[in-house]
A and B are shown apart, each in its own frame.
Chain A
Amino acid sequence: MLDFIAQIPIAVWVKEFTDWLTEAFAFIFDPIKNQGGDFLDWTSDMLVLIPPIIVIIIVAVIAFFLTDKRIGLPIFTIVGLWLIYNQGLWEELVFTFTLVLIASLLSILIGIPVGILMSKSKTAEAIITPILDFMQTMPAFVYLIPAVAFFGIGMVPGIFASLIFATPPTVRFTNLGIRQVSRELVEASDAFGSTGSQKLFKVELPMAKSTIMAGINQTVMLALSMVVIASMIGAPGLGREIVSALQNANVGSGFVAGISIVILAIIIDRFTQNLNK
């Protein structure tokens, strides 16, 4: 009864479409793959060159000032980062951090303008909202497949997948933050003859700042989780430790890598939250 139509070949269509995309846009994908890859390698190489002790001190000092000179977070960063170093995962940590940093920056760079567009146009909002829903509910692993098709394996596809997965919160919160600005303030800015961009930069964005920052915080956390998953397609870092621990059924090293990710996550989370204040 339910079989009155033969199986619709959606999977085939999507595959064909992706193949076509890969080929047709190779002139875009290839440079990104190559130059982007080089850039990422170079960045992480540079970061690895900095002696861990200096990194730890710098991060702790920033934490100290970010949290209004309280010592909780600085102590946590010192102990946590030292532990990761102690477990011989420093290099992996740097790779993961680089990926998260670049992926988050790109997400923010794309997400905020899209969010602004959404807040200014009902049509844009109506079109973008379902796309965001789709992007966020699709299991994260699925993005790895086209990422590999477009960019091969390594860091670049990891960042691509992370972009798709982690950008929505920044878009949503930017839109929300701007729409939440009180009507009177928007009217005040219009009534004094602001142009659209004066209104945006002098009133709306400053007023929406804390909401946008909450979105950025979520984006960064999602980027971290995606970067770990992206190890399955060869992105280096802490995630790769977990993947190989899984393959070897090594509970111990899996746990150590997992703890390291948690430490990194907590530090990143507290940093982005406190930036907000």
Chain B
Amino acid sequence: MPVIKVEGLSKVFGKNVKESLKLLDDGMKKEEILKQTGDTVGVNRASFDVEAGEVFVIMGLSGSGKSTLVRLLNRLIEPSEGNVYVDGENLATMNKEDLRRVRREKLSMVFQNFGLFPHRTILENAEFGLEVQGVDKEDRKEKAKKSLEMVGLGNYINQLPEQLSGGMQQRVGLARALANDPTVLLMDEAFSALDPLIRKDMQDELLELQVAMKKTIIFITHDLDEALRIGDRIALMKDGSIVQIGTPEEILVNPANDYVERFVEDVDRSKVLTAEHIMKRPETINIEKHGPRVALERMREEGLSSIYVIDGKRNLKGYVTADDASEARKKEIRDINEILKTDVPTVGMDKPMQEIFEIIHDSPVPIAVVEDEKLKGIIVRGAVLAALAGENEVNIDA
């Protein structure tokens, strides 16, 4: 069962909500509805599931409805329509008391500008969630301290928020959210207010924590790089609607429409694409059947200067070059083993392209992509460059 299940969730800001929802049904756009009814569409019929332990990123340009959507998930904003199930309970229809219980026990939030209480010390801030639950003093102090230690702030517990740097303040925000051990962490542009270096640190730290915590995280960002770094899956929003949901690869390699494509365009593709995406079907010869003659013939046909050698089970054995093969033919050598070279550069299927680029740079032959010692494909230098340049020569059905 998914931890969070969102069904047809909508939010219309304004006075003619019913009418606007009807217009949305008719397929009218956000702008047209604003003109006709004066209402702003915040979120339009969002549906998705988030599984336990998943980092689910919601991404989109400013005004696309990310903050509204995340606030619908803990009902800081009342939905106009639709359902939000958290562990099977429908938040959208529950009464205030139940809502408070779910917020206390299952959902924590981290805010863009940290949302720390300036009149409370770091420890008191981290205690807040437990305090409103009525956990007794010693107990909540203990838990809050542990949580602060987890984010590396064990020594700052008696400071006030204003005494800490932005990065540290957001750690407090994170510690506060983690102190009551929620099932789901909602993070609305949690790192956007931090400068780039600290931001990267925080991303790494979150991922590190996540390995240990295995929380379900809904992470909002307008930054694709950030989304790609931390997201298991990404939902892209435009004008209140989710236009695509997929893994980082799916979004990059196979953008659902022009909007996604434009969003994706200026991303450094080398970070996300892996060997699998840019490899080609290899030309090979079989060590059990073929000799230097066949090898030379193949290379001539295909215009290659080297060819990979496999056995009957497609296990990679090595490669031979065209030069060696023609030499061998002159000397009437029959056994391919005599000219077989085994210093093969190999990579796994999920090797990031950035690293492939470094390997291929000083390799005389194409790189072999292997899985369980079986040859799956080869990567030629040209394909890497093309993919880096963002040309669509990537191998989608790989």
Q: A interface vs B, CB < 8 Å? A: 184-185, 187-195, 198, 202-203, 206-207
What distance in Å separates the Cβ of B171 from its nearest Cβ neighbour in chain A? Answer: 15
1/0 per residue, CB under 8 A from A, across B97-140: the answer is 00011111101110111111111000000001101110000000
Q: Is the CB of A187 within 8 A of B111?
A: yes
Total residue contacts A-B, CB cutoff 8 A: 62
Given the interface contacts A194-B132, A195-B132, does A188 sit within 8 Å of B103 by beta carbon?
no
Q: Is the CB of B113 within 8 A of A193?
A: no
Given the interface contacts A187-B109, A187-B115, does A193 sit within 8 Å of B133 by beta carbon?
yes
Q: Is the CB of A193 within 8 A of B119?
A: no
**Using Cβ atoms and an 8 Å threshold, which residues of chain A touch B109?**
187-188, 191-192
CA distance A188 to B118 in the complex (A): 12
Q: Is the CB of B115 within 8 A of A193?
A: no
CA distance A206 to B105 in the complex (A): 25
CA distance A77 to B176 in the complex (A): 47
Interface residues on B, range: 20 to 34
**Using Cβ atoms and an 8 Å threshold, which residues of chain A touch B100?**
193-195
Q: Is the CB of A193 within 8 A of B111?
A: no
Q: Is the CB of B119 within 8 A of A184?
A: no
Given the interface contacts A202-B131, A202-B132, does A191 sit within 8 Å of B117 by beta carbon?
no
Does B1 lie at the interface of the complex (its beta carbon under 8 Å from any beta carbon of A)?
no
Question: What are some 29 contacts across the A-B interface (CB < 8 A)?
Answer: A184-B114, A185-B115, A187-B71, A187-B109, A188-B109, A188-B115, A188-B128, A191-B74, A191-B107, A191-B108, A192-B104, A192-B108, A192-B129, A192-B132, A192-B176, A193-B100, A193-B101, A193-B102, A193-B104, A193-B105, A193-B132, A193-B133, A194-B132, A195-B132, A203-B117, A206-B119, A207-B117, A207-B118, A207-B119
**Using Cβ atoms and an 8 Å threshold, which residues of chain B touch A187?**
71, 76, 109, 111, 115
CA distance A189 to B131 in the complex (A): 11
Q: Is the CB of B132 within 8 A of A185?
A: no
Q: Is the CB of B103 within 8 A of A192?
A: yes
- The 10 A-B pairs with the shortest beta carbon distances in the complex, nearest first, are A193-B104, A193-B103, A188-B115, A191-B109, A184-B115, A192-B129, A193-B100, A194-B132, A206-B119, A184-B111
Q: Binding site of B, secondary structure by majority: helix, strand, loop or mixed?
A: mixed
What distance in Å separates the Cβ of A184 from its nearest Cβ neighbour in chain B? Answer: 4
Extra pairs beyond A185-B117, A189-B128, A191-B109 (12, CB < 8 Å): A184-B115, A187-B109, A190-B76, A190-B103, A191-B107, A192-B109, A192-B129, A192-B132, A192-B180, A193-B104, A194-B132, A195-B132
**Using Cβ atoms and an 8 Å threshold, which residues of chain A touch B111?**
184, 187-188
**Using Cβ atoms and an 8 Å threshold, which residues of chain A touch B116?**
188
Given the interface contacts A198-B132, A202-B132, A207-B119, does A191 sit within 8 Å of B76 by beta carbon?
yes
What distance in Å separates the Cβ of B183 from its nearest Cβ neighbour in chain A? Answer: 13
Q: Binding site of A, secondary structure by majority: helix, strand, loop or mixed?
A: helix
**Using Cβ atoms and an 8 Å threshold, which residues of chain A touch B132?**
189, 192-195, 198, 202
What distance in Å separates the Cβ of B361 from its nearest Cβ neighbour in chain A? Answer: 48
**Using Cβ atoms and an 8 Å threshold, which residues of chain A touch B114?**
184
**Using Cβ atoms and an 8 Å threshold, which residues of chain A touch B133?**
193
**Using Cβ atoms and an 8 Å threshold, which residues of chain B touch A192?**
103-104, 108-109, 128-129, 132, 176, 180
**Using Cβ atoms and an 8 Å threshold, which residues of chain A touch B103?**
190-193
CA distance A198 to B131 in the complex (A): 10
**Using Cβ atoms and an 8 Å threshold, which residues of chain A touch B112?**
184
**Chain B CB within 10 A, most for which of A188, A195, A202, A207:** A188
Output the nearest chain A residue to B101 by Cβ-Cβ distance. A193
What distance in Å separates the Cβ of A185 from its nearest Cβ neighbour in chain B? Answer: 6
CA distance A185 to B118 in the complex (A): 10
What distance in Å separates the Cβ of A89 from its nearest Cβ neighbour in chain B? Answer: 42
Q: Is the CB of A188 within 8 A of B117?
A: yes
Output the nearest chain A residue to B107 by Cβ-Cβ distance. A191
What distance in Å separates the Cβ of B114 from its nearest Cβ neighbour in chain A? Answer: 8
Output the nearest chain A residue to B173 by Cβ-Cβ distance. A188
**Using Cβ atoms and an 8 Å threshold, which residues of chain B touch A191?**
74, 76, 103, 107-109, 186
What distance in Å separates the Cβ of B102 from its nearest Cβ neighbour in chain A? Answer: 8
CA distance A188 to B101 in the complex (A): 15
In chain B between 160 and 179, which residues have their CB closer than 8 angstroms to a CB of chain A?
A: 176
Given the interface contacts A188-B109, A188-B111, does A193 sit within 8 Å of B129 by beta carbon?
yes
CA distance A254 to B111 in the complex (A): 61
Q: Is the CB of B113 within 8 A of A184?
A: yes
CA distance A269 to B186 in the complex (A): 47
Output the nearest chain B residue to A209 by Cβ-Cβ distance. B119
CA distance A136 to B355 in the complex (A): 74
CA distance A188 to B109 in the complex (A): 7
What distance in Å separates the Cβ of B170 from its nearest Cβ neighbour in chain A? Answer: 13
CA distance A257 to B108 in the complex (A): 61
**Using Cβ atoms and an 8 Å threshold, which residues of chain A touch B74?**
191
What distance in Å separates the Cβ of B74 from its nearest Cβ neighbour in chain A? Answer: 6
CA distance A189 to B115 in the complex (A): 9
What distance in Å separates the Cβ of A199 from its nearest Cβ neighbour in chain B? Answer: 9
1/0 per residue, CB under 8 A from A, across B42-79: the answer is 00000000000000000000000000000100101000
**Using Cβ atoms and an 8 Å threshold, which residues of chain B touch A194?**
100, 132
CA distance A203 to B180 in the complex (A): 19
